A and B are shown apart, each in its own frame.
Chain A
Amino acid sequence: MNYNKFEDQISDWIENSMDIKQRKEFEKFLSENPEYLSKVESIKDVMNMMKDAPSLKTSEDFTKRLNEKITSLKSEKKPMGILGFSKRNFAYLTLSVLGILLLSGYLLQPSFSSYSIVDEETIDNNIDKEEIDKESNEINDIDILNDVNGSFVTDKD
């Protein structure tokens, strides 16, 4: 054991919180270095003085003042809440609910619903399809006329 380790363990030794091996090692160091015994004794003295030191008292009216503070705290009117919420929280809650309702209403309108968008696309597709069918029919008519006359015939003919 060196001096630093000895110093680190003084309180443990005084408070008897060492295991047997540590205690023996500490006491061996102390017996080999009796000059450090006074250090241990002075720390013991300081500890005893602190243990026995009278505590400082609070003011005589300490408890009275405390009770007055508590009484005034109790008599302070608490701000009236709404449905168990503070006014501020109630305002936030109301705004949130209104916001959700407005957003829902906006999104659920037919012209803005996802269903209506698909529907419009379907309608557009159907119109395109009708035009294509019409054009196909016209081509078919021309082919039929070609077959019958053996020559290229147009509607104008």
Chain B
Amino acid sequence: MSQNLQIQLTGSLNMKDDFKLSDEKLIALFQSGDINAYNELVERYKERLFNFVLRYFNNKEQAEDVVQDTLIKLYTHASYYKNVAKFSTWIFTIAKNNALTELRKNKRKRTESLWTEDGNPLDINSKEQSLDQKTHNEFAINQLNRFLDEIPENFRMAVVLRDFQELSYDEISKILEIPIGTIKSRINRGRIQLAEKMKHFKEQK
């Protein structure tokens, strides 16, 4: 990695949507010393990784720290990426490993849900929305997020990667290091459990 990389606090490559470079092209550019490519990858992945890691901790600060460590690893170990796997698989795998290491290190139990009993998010970024603005659909999504916290972790992580992150079964299998058949089964079971919880919730209302 070039020693002359300059960190630019101001954003990423200014690319139009119709001329978006692939993640693999960006990491190749960064490997050859283009810091703008790194910034673009950070912009593309910071929230995806955050929403993924958050499911391990349910603690916003801790999740952000893990995502930052992941993105620093991307900065310091970019040369380790070989263009044989998709970039997303590689970066999600690093994030997962960081999250598990952090969990083992702290031996912390997951904290309380990010969603209240009423299904309102505890997330500070959502405070901007008033209750009046909330639609019924939003409420249901928040409730779903809360139920997601209640299903077993091995189901939850597979469902999150599939239905929130929209990764392929093959990618999920590589990230979680579990055979595809098992991944499919866990996702199916996870969805069934969520659907049952949502059904009971709707019936109670």
Contact = CB atoms under 8 A, between A and B. Distances in A.
A125 to B, nearest CB: 66
Contacts, number: 100
Interface string B71-82: 110011000000
A148 interface: no
14 contacts: A7-B192, A10-B192, A39-B195, A46-B194, A52-B141, A53-B144, A56-B51, A57-B125, A58-B46, A58-B50, A62-B67, A64-B9, A73-B75, A74-B5
Interface stretch (B14-22, B89-97, B99-107, B183-191): B183-191
A53 B192 contact: no
Given A50-B163, A70-B75, A62 B144 contact: no
Interface in A32-69: 39, 42-43, 45-47, 49-59, 62-67, 69
Interface of B: 5, 7, 9, 42-43, 46-48, 50-51, 54, 60, 64, 67-68, 71-72, 75-76, 114, 121, 123, 125-126, 137, 140-141, 144-145, 159, 163-164, 166, 184-185, 187-188, 191-192, 194-196, 198-199
Closest 6 CB pairs of A and B: A50-B163, A42-B195, A11-B188, A57-B125, A43-B195, A55-B51
A12 interface: yes
A51 B5 CA distance: 37
Chain A: interface residue count, which band? Answer: 20 to 34
Contact of A49 (B67, B144, B184): B144
Contacts of A64: 9
